[in-house]
Structure 1
Amino acid sequence: MTQYNRWYHPYDIDEKYNKRVAYFSMEYGIDQAFKIYSGGLGFLAGSHMRSAHDLRQNMIGIGMLWKYGYYDQVRHDDQSMRAQFQKKFYTFLEETDITVSVAVNGHEVKVKALVLKPEVFGTVPMYFLSTDIPENDYLAQTITHRLYDPEMSTRIAQSIVLGIGGGKVVEALGGAEVYHMNEAHALPLSFWLLDKYRSVEKVREHMVFTTHTPEKAGNEEHDTNFLDRMSFFNGTPLEEVRKLTHMDGHLFNHTLAALRLSKVANGVSQLHGEVARQMWNENHGICEIKAITNAQHANYWTDDDLWDALQSGNDNVLVVRKKEMKHLLFKIVSDQTGKLFNPEVLTIVWARRFAAYKRPDLLVRDFERFLTIINNKERPVQVIWAGKPYPFDEGAVNTFNKLVDLSEKQPNMAVLSGYEMELSRKLKQGSDVWLNTPRRPREASGTSGMTASMNGSINFSIQDGWLPEYARHGENSFILPIVDTNLPEHLQDSEDHKNLMHILEHEIAPAYYHDRGKWLGIMKQSMFDVLPFFGSDRMAHEYYEKLYSY
């Protein structure tokens, strides 16, 4: 084997982080050039890999090499959204001589590992798995074509490749002491570990788990017999699977199995930790669920000039740099939409994955009132939307297209396509306000607001995810009052909309236009308060402290 095929790091391991950890994630947001992510889960994993490198941790990453990525978000001729699946080439990945075999639906599938060396993007060594090699038939090759493939058997095969194939790659590298599953996508790993250790107690000693969402779609369930036919359980007899996971029914819950086969788990904010414990604690045999709040890699996301101005106390430079960044964002707006936004005007951005519970259209619930507010001659407002729906979620795609239609004749409304890491950075740097409107408490973390704060964009949000740990209304953020979650959803939406519009009209716009000193104070406080706690160095340290050394 070459040096790239052994467990290696280009730095001396810090003794605090000496335990060998293999981190498994279906997606990673590492750099704009590497399109293997869909949203927040990937952004979080990418920041973790960068901070693990910066802290000199003894960790490697295991992921999937998606030939067509998630998808490229482009447009039809009428401006509506189109999902384009375009072949990707990554010349910065290097060959290894590691090829392993997994069983999928009883058939052997070869899995090749390619390495992303630390010096490329400043991550720990990472190994990406591909079945798109000549040794496999065409069907097997397609397993690693699309992230979150809509075909169910392909999705299960992807989990098998990540979990069992990834486990075998780690073994070829010399093995790990801790196997960390970022979401339950890699769950077949636990059954590979069972075969390796021959003891469920030993599996639990070595496996930890991060759960990311209270959403049903993020906590997969499948027919147990179907999973068995797909070779999901790595040859473990079905009766033993039922006994080990305490699931006797016909449905197999991946998250619940992960909680029963890990030594410890965590939610991704303090609030989400509470929500996760409420969700799962009635189930016997689960591990402890702690809370480690997500965070983002400050060096990657922050604008150096803006941060230098903040640290030196030079308010004039801070204001000038923020305006420059608005100009840069508005060039993208004009390029995509033909609209010329004004950097003097209050600019609100809603940008994240389009999903029903995130309510991307809450702001336009009463469109006439919305137009009255944004077209106020004394206090105008510009609004930008961006985000990728799951390409086969018709409801989310329709919401995106509805906003495109509504914005068509409005010079101060824009909907941007191609929401990936570079556009995300530009939106955070160029916005005055970062709007977040999930139905509470369904947003586990919502880390985009952290990187917005790092760039002088003030959070305007539902009190969900990480915000309760950070936000102080009128001091570093604008926060909506908590609405009774026992109300029917349409009444929750109505109440949140009423509060949203009131705060925008009577607090945010007046402060921006008529009390610049107050506005600048909130903006600066938001930047001061976000770091270092919501930087991923703290998070990466806590994982060693609270999960890996547990």
Structure 2
Amino acid sequence: MRALQAVGVTPAVVHLNEGHCAFAPLEDLRRRMVEDHLSFSAARAAAAAAVVFTTHTSVPAGHDRFPAAMAAAHLQPLAASAGIDVANLLALGKTNPADPDEAFCMTALAFRMSRFHNAVSALHGKVTRSMWSALWPDRSPDQVPIGHITNGVHPGTWLAPSLRKLYSRILPQNWEQQPGTAADWQALTLLDDRELWQTHCSLRHRLLHDVARRSGCQNLDPHALTVGFARRFATYKRADLIFRDLDLLSRLLQDSTRPIQLLFAGKAHPADEQGKLILQHIWQLAAQPPFRGRVVVLPDYSIDLARRLVQGVDVWLNTPRRPQEASGTSGQKAALNGALNWSTLDGWWAEAWNGSNGFAIGDTTDCTDPEIQDQHDALSLYQVLQQQILPRFYERDPGGLPVSWLQMMKNSITSLGWQYSSHRMVQDYAALAWRPATKFQASSVVPGS
């Protein structure tokens, strides 16, 4: 904030993504007290009035907490400059400001120093309102003023060039730079089935050639159902859920009439030991005879590899333990390219799935016992694979086209491509957060005011 001030920039709105940067509005609070001679309460309300805060995680461990003494040491210079006791600033980062032993939470600070607060999917909004309801003790969780703006992805970054050419024949001019509408994208149902399928098959072949180069696996089937799983290997994402019944999976993978191949990529956080063990376990399984050549773990995960995967797979697998996925965006990238999502009803997929644009694992029931939930979801995963995905993919018309699969591909592209784009997301932020924040006057919406 001081750097911006030094170069003559006064932001109309400050947008905080996660609590890591929540000290920024404290500097504005200090400035208003020193330069405008406002009281602490008035300066805080004025500083928070033009701040938007987006929280991105449903997992408690994702919210930074520090010992109060450590936070006090860093906040003391700011407090001294403003002429206030550091306890005033510490209170902003606590659920219970009166508790001297409570850790200082950057997320609590961000909520207290912002006017507009949002989660990144509808389900995440519900979870977040419950998680942070203590900051608004006079309200029930459903009345907590935390909305949601669902994440989206940038079409120009993730869409395969060959598909971009097909889409550009039908979509309005400059569609890549505009949010688009449902009616605009519905026109893509006019795509020629054979041309769409040939384009998709070419992308699959390109992907498998790249996989062979990266992994050394030379016996992948260019015509087999290809499933991708690529993301951070956080424990709650359950990358190994599909391996829960090894005997069943082995039989399915070795079925020569309906072959399947699984591609995995990703990295675990350096401090996530369980996540690293899951990745190691899948790597070890991929080397065993029943799975060798059918399960591939790709090294050196990168944006380039992620782009190849979402553009070339037939199905995108996503198995977070509901409701711990805030949004997720990899499935949005895959859907843009015609891949069908196969996911638990968590994050963005909980609101995006309509029954005809992909496949749902499990239901909307939230289980308090992780083991029972994993059993339930694994059973559903295998049932969907055997009863829905495989029959639809391998059913062909006399001309060799998977007509039913292509219809679902079009349903996915037309219903999701525009709605989960970054253009729509930015439009929502502008309409629902940034513009209102420029006009807002401090009110009781700021927690604790």
Secondary structure of the 2:47 match is helix
Secondary structure of the 2:324 match is coil
Counterpart of 1:325 in structure 2 is 203
What is the CA distance between 1:182 and its match in structure 2?
A: 0.7
Contact 1:242/1:248 (CA < 8 Å) preserved in 2? no
Query: Could you report, residue by residue, the CA deviation over 1:77-124 in whole angstroms, capped at 9, with x for unpaired residues?
Result: xxxxxxxxxxxxxxxxxxxxxxxxxxxxxxxxxxxxxxxxxxxxxxxx
Counterpart of 1:115 in structure 2 is none
Taking a change above 3 Å as real, the CA distance of residues 432 and 240 of structure 1, as seen in their structure-2 partners, is same
Secondary structure of the 2:264 match is strand
Counterpart of 1:263 in structure 2 is 115
2:298 to 416, 421, 443: 416
CA distance in 2: counterparts of 1:470 and 1:233, whole angstroms: 47
Query: Could you report, residue by residue, the CA deviation over 1:262-308 in whole angstroms, capped at 9, with x for unpaired residues?
Result: 11110001111111111112322797211111101112211232244
Counterpart of 1:500 in structure 2 is 381
Q: What is the one-letter code of the residue matched to 1:484? A: T
Query: Could you report, residue by residue, the CA deviation over 1:124-183 in whole angstroms, capped at 9, with x for unpaired residues?
Result: xxxxxxxxxxxxxxxxxxxxxxxxxxxxxxxxxxxxxxxxxxx22222341201110011
What is the CA distance between 1:396 and its match in structure 2?
A: 1.0
CA distance in 1: counterparts of 2:282 and 2:329, whole angstroms: 24
Secondary structure of the 1:234 match is helix
Contact 1:223/1:252 (CA < 8 Å) preserved in 2? yes
Contact 2:316/2:341 (CA < 8 Å) preserved in 1? yes
Counterpart of 2:161 in structure 1 is 304
- Is 2:98 the partner of 1:248? yes
- Is 2:402 the partner of 1:521? no
- Is 2:18 the partner of 1:183? yes
CA distance in 2: counterparts of 1:508 and 1:444, whole angstroms: 26
Which is bigger in relative contact order (C-alpha 8 A, separation at least 6)?
2
2:46 to 199, 202, 217: 202
Q: What is the one-letter code of the residue matched to 2:314? A: D
Q: What is the one-letter code of the residue matched to 1:184? A: G
CA distance in 2: counterparts of 1:335 and 1:243, whole angstroms: 55
Q: What is the one-letter code of the residue matched to 1:447? A: T
CA distance in 1: counterparts of 2:157 and 2:91, whole angstroms: 45
1:239 to 79, 87, 92: 87
Contact 1:233/1:241 (CA < 8 Å) preserved in 2? no
2:61 to 217, 235, 238: 217
Contact 2:92/2:108 (CA < 8 Å) preserved in 1? no
- Is 2:349 the partner of 1:467? yes
Q: What is the one-letter code of the residue matched to 2:351? A: E
Q: What is the one-letter code of the residue matched to 1:216? A: P
2:367 to 486, 495, 504: 486
What is the CA distance between 1:420 and its match in structure 2?
A: 2.1
- Is 2:319 the partner of 1:437? yes
Q: Which has the higher helix share?
A: 2
Residues 16-55 of structure 1 aligned to structure 2 (within 5 Å): none
Q: What is the one-letter code of the residue matched to 2:87? A: E
The sequence identity of aligned pairs, in percent, is 32
2:269 to 387, 390, 399: 390
What is the CA distance between 1:485 and its match in structure 2?
A: 2.1
Taking a change above 3 Å as real, the CA distance of residues 309 and 219 of structure 1, as seen in their structure-2 partners, is same
Q: Under a length normalisation based on structure 2, what TM-score does the superposition of the two structures give?
A: 0.81
What is the CA distance between 1:332 and its match in structure 2?
A: 2.4
The structure with the larger Rg is 2
Query: Could you report, residue by residue, the CA deviation over 1:192-227 in whole angstroms, capped at 9, with x for unpaired residues?
Result: 121122210111112110001110121111111111
- Is 2:215 the partner of 1:337? yes
CA distance in 2: counterparts of 1:234 and 1:405, whole angstroms: 52
Counterpart of 2:124 in structure 1 is 272
Q: What is the one-letter code of the residue matched to 2:62? A: G
2:281 to 402, 407, 432: 402
1:316 to 166, 175, 194: 194
What is the CA distance between 1:231 and its match in structure 2?
A: 4.3
Secondary structure of the 2:325 match is coil
Counterpart of 1:34 in structure 2 is none
Counterpart of 2:135 in structure 1 is 283
Contact 2:317/2:343 (CA < 8 Å) preserved in 1? yes
Counterpart of 2:440 in structure 1 is none
CA distance in 2: counterparts of 1:456 and 1:178, whole angstroms: 37
Q: Which runs of 5+ in 2 are unaligned?
A: 34-42, 171-189, 397-401, 437-449
What is the CA distance between 1:229 and its match in structure 2?
A: 1.9
Q: Which runs of 5+ in 1 are unaligned?
A: 1-166
Counterpart of 1:537 in structure 2 is 423
What is the CA distance between 1:350 and its match in structure 2?
A: 1.0
Counterpart of 2:179 in structure 1 is none
What is the CA distance between 1:443 and its match in structure 2?
A: 0.4
Contact 2:76/2:86 (CA < 8 Å) preserved in 1? no
Query: Could you report, residue by residue, the CA deviation over 1:217-267 in whole angstroms, capped at 9, with x for unpaired residues?
Result: 211111111112244873463211144455333211211221111111100
Counterpart of 2:183 in structure 1 is none
Counterpart of 1:171 in structure 2 is 5
CA distance in 2: counterparts of 1:329 and 1:217, whole angstroms: 35
CA distance in 1: counterparts of 2:77 and 2:297, whole angstroms: 44
Q: How many residues align?
A: 383
Q: Which has the higher strand share?
A: 1
Counterpart of 1:457 in structure 2 is 339
CA distance in 2: counterparts of 1:233 and 1:388, whole angstroms: 39
CA distance in 2: counterparts of 1:470 and 1:200, whole angstroms: 38
Taking a change above 3 Å as real, the CA distance of residues 233 and 387 of structure 1, as seen in their structure-2 partners, is farther
Contact 2:51/2:113 (CA < 8 Å) preserved in 1? yes
